[in-house]
Amino acid sequence: MRTVPLLLGSAAAGAAAVARRVARFRPVEAPVPPADAAGLDADAAAARLAELIRIPTVSSPDPGQVDSAAFSRFRDRLAELYPHTHRVLEREVLDGGALLYRWRSGTDRPPLVLMAHHDVVPVTGQAWTRGPFSGAVEDGWVHGRGAIDDKGSLVAVLEAVESLAAAGHTPARDVYVSSSNDEEVLGVGAQQAVQVFRDRGITPWAVLDEGGAVVTGVFPGVPGQIAVVGLAEKGVLGVDLVTSDPGGHASSPLADGAPARLARAILRLDAAPFPARLDEVLLGMVDAAGRHASGAYRALFAHARVLRPLLATALARASREANALVRTTVAVTELEGSSARNVLATRARAHLNIRIALGETVQSTVERLRRVVGDPSVEVRVLSGNDPSPVSRTDTEAYAALGAAVRAVYPEAAVAPYLMVQASDARHFAQISDSVYRFMPFDLSRGELDSLHAADERISVAALHRGAVFFRHLIRHL
């Protein structure tokens, strides 16, 4: 009969341990003084962003489709809009048109690199309610392609630099501003900038590029703001599935022809998604954001490591965005068959756009694709690919400075690590620095986030202003 008291005592001890763990699971961010916004003009910044939006710097993988004159006008207009920046900082135009600025500090301390590309994606086929390159400023919003991605970030950086340069400020370490002209087509501008650093033997103290933002209502149980800072980004893989047949007249179709075999391969991939798992970056996000949760959610997140498989499954089912965080994703983006309505396809093709999760590689991903397709008549052709980026550190002075700058502008926000599911120029800088972060210092709504690469892209004048305040505070406190 002693078994019952022992079991009760064990259960009580377990419950007490859980209670202690939950009680200790509290926010750990230290308060910081608010950032100084004096001297930064929100309306003037919005007007300058509007001007730059009106210059259609649309990039294309086909150089013949790029309006090089527009990119030249953009560079010229930057110099006119930000005269103190161009007086104090050294500017290099790299081969092809990428920009690299250096603000000398007079010290040999490792530099800060601020990144923001100035090319944008096309607007073809999108139904905009205003002209996509109108740069309209209405009712507290700046409208147009690039408002957020990524001319908004570039303007926020330059507003901060211009303000400090005009006041005669000298940074405590060199500050570089790197702006590529071909990020949207996975181009070489950022790679050229990285090569400049390599050639000069420079290892950045920290690199900050686009990525996460200050968001609300996206994390279960956390009603307030979360500033999600990307520590890494998923790999990108382009694969063609190809099947072939002899062809012939459509009046005499083949059984199990090339399109049917291709369709079966696609359905197999759709029915067997890559496994969901919580990597260390996502565990860090759950830990940091979960400390701001309430009630049962906080108790759940306090035990995230133990409940790792359960949480991974729950996130995979929560939303498209959450699902993309926890697994390698496969999207069919192109389909191709016969070139004529009455001719059997001699070749059927599907293109797969794949985003590779941390812990997997191009090789392991391709091997799994072949196993799932399970049909030797379906060729798996790898067109291009890169593994996920290295994971940046959070135990550094640079990450602490970034977090302090966030809290100086957004005092109620939790600062949490994040895995970026898109590709960015930052992945190239991860080759030369272990402190590469992906964060846009804007508080963005779900609607604004959904407008990226879509119709009616826009940013609020207030958010743009807060971004400039963030960058100025960061530079002042290096």
Q: Is the confidence at residue 354, as pLDDT, over 90?
A: yes
Does residue 206 have a pLDDT over 50?
Answer: yes
Is it the case that residue 229 has pLDDT exceeding 80?
yes
Summarised one tens digit per residue, pLDDT across range 46-82 is 999 999 999 999 999 999 999 999 999 999 999 999 9
pLDDT band (50, 70, 90) for residue 102 = very high
The reported pLDDT for the residue numbered 11 is 43
The proportion of the chain whose per-residue pLDDT surpasses 90, expressed as a percent, equals 88
Say which range, 18-27, 94-103, 249-258, 448-457, has the weakest mean pLDDT.
Answer: 18-27
pLDDT of residue 27: 86
Give per-residue pLDDT as tens, 443-476.
Answer: 999 899 999 999 999 999 999 999 999 999 999 9
Residue 166 has pLDDT above 50, yes or no: yes
What pLDDT was estimated at residue 10?
A: 43
pLDDT at site 7:
35
* Global confidence as pTM: 0.91
Query: For 286-300, 325-339, 365-379, 387-401, which range has the lowest pLDDT when averaged over its residues?
Result: 286-300
User: At 126, is the pLDDT very low, low, confident or very high (cuts 50, 70, 90)?
Assistant: very high
Do β-strands 90-93 and 99-103 pair in parallel, antiparallel, or remain unpaired? antiparallel
Residue pLDDT, tens place only, 293-342? 988 889 989 999 999 999 999 889 988 888 999 999 999 999 999 999 99
The pLDDT value recorded for residue 16 is 66
Domains of the chain: 42-231+391-476 (3.40.630.10), 233-386 (3.30.70.360)
pLDDT digits (tens, 9 = 90+) for 131-151: 999 999 999 999 999 999 999
Task: Give the confidence band of 31 by pLDDT, cuts at 50, 70, 90.
Answer: confident
Mean pLDDT over the full length of the chain: 94
